[in-house]
């Protein structure tokens, strides 16, 4: 893939996964240096706006007693509880009025790590003629990974903006990148 192919075109879109307060330092499920993605993502969103490329931001948005929380048999501390302060986007994230918000993780009976899991997003993006998705956000080894794999499954080309993601664990991050590459995603070393 040459440099020109990495520039935004008319069949592209930008997906920003779960850049919420609870996933940043000070939150309830803090990712080390998770907040560092914010200025980078702001730049990517400005370029997308300039190029007329649609922007979608997902948010993890759990019921108070979600099954992914430890006390309910899940793996995580409580996080991104609907309407809580921690569920807000990071305060410095410049969410454009033109952006669409994708809400996920609302089911009582299942986790929904992928933005494509029962949201109708893939169908909608195909209708818009989107072919290629630039992906960034949190966490690289959980919701970014699940979304990238599902996006490929739904026959989109996926470019991962590596520098604008952070993993929950370094090892998880390395494994996630390997899985994404194996599945056909292009990892941009930016
Ligand atoms: C996420 C853990 C639990 C994520 C969501 O957005 O990556 N991680 N819920
Ligand atoms: Zn969650």
* pLDDT at residue number 2: 64
The residue-averaged pLDDT of 90-101 equals 98
Which whole-number Å values give the CA distances from 40 to 19, 34, 136, 156, in the listed order? 12, 12, 10, 23
Closest residue by CA, ligand 1 atom 2:
142
132 alpha carbon – ligand 2 mean position (Å): 26
The token duo for 167 is 């993993």
User: Which domain CATH number covers 166?
Assistant: 3.40.50.850
Of 24, 27, 76, best ligand 1 pocket probe by most atoms within 8 Å of the beta carbon = 76
The residue-averaged pLDDT of 76-84 equals 98
Rounded distance between C-alpha atoms, residue 179 and residue 173, angstroms = 10
Rounded distance between C-alpha atoms, residue 52 and residue 9, angstroms = 9
Rounded distance between C-alpha atoms, residue 79 and residue 23, angstroms = 8
Q: Which ligand is nearest to the CA of 59?
A: 1
* pLDDT at residue number 5: 78
Distance of CA 57 to the CA centre of its chain: 7
Q: Which ligand is nearest to the CA of 144?
A: 1
42 alpha carbon – ligand 1 mean position (Å): 21
Task: State the residue range of the domain holding 95.
Answer: 3-188
Instruction: Please give the share of the chain, as a percent, with pLDDT higher than 90.
Output: 96
CB atoms within 5 A of ion ligand 2 belong to 60, 105
* pLDDT at residue number 3: 61
pLDDT confidence band for 1 (50 / 70 / 90): low
Q: Which residues line ligand 1 (CB under 6 A)?
A: 18, 60, 68, 76, 138-139, 142-143
Q: In the chain, how many domains are there? A: 1
In tens, the pLDDT along 7-32 reads 999 999 999 999 999 999 999 999 99
51 alpha carbon – ligand 1 mean position (Å): 30
151 alpha carbon – ligand 2 mean position (Å): 19
Q: Look up the pTM and report it.
A: 0.97
* pLDDT at residue number 6: 82
* Whether the bond into 100 is cis, omega within 30 of 0: no
Q: Which ligand is nearest to the CA of 62?
A: 2
In tens, the pLDDT along 109-146 reads 999 999 999 999 999 999 999 999 999 999 999 999 99
């Amino acid at each position: 893939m040459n440099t020109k192919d990495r520039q935004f075109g008319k069949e592209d879109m930008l997906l920003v996964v779960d850049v919420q307060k609870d996933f940043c330092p000070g939150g309830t499920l803090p990712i080390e240096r998770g907040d560092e993605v914010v200025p980078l993502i702001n730049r990517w969103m400005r370029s997308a706006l300039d190029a007329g490329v649609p922007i979608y931001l997902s948010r993890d948005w759990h019921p108070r007693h979600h099954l992914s929380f430890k006390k309910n048999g899940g793996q995580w501390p409580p996080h991104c509880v609907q309407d809580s302060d921690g569920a807000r986007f990071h305060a410095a994230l410049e969410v454009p009025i033109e952006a669409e918000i994708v809400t996920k993780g609302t089911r009582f009976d299942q986790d929904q790590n992928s933005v494509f899991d029962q949201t109708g997003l893939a169908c909608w993006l195909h209708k818009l003629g989107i072919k290629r998705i630039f992906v960034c956000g949190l966490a690289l080894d959980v919701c970014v990974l699940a979304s990238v794999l599902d996006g490929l499954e739904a026959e989109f080309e996926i470019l991962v903006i590596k520098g604008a993601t952070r993993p929950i664990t370094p090892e998880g991050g390395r494994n996630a990148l390997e899985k994404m590459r194996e599945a056909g995603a292009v990892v941009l070393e930016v």
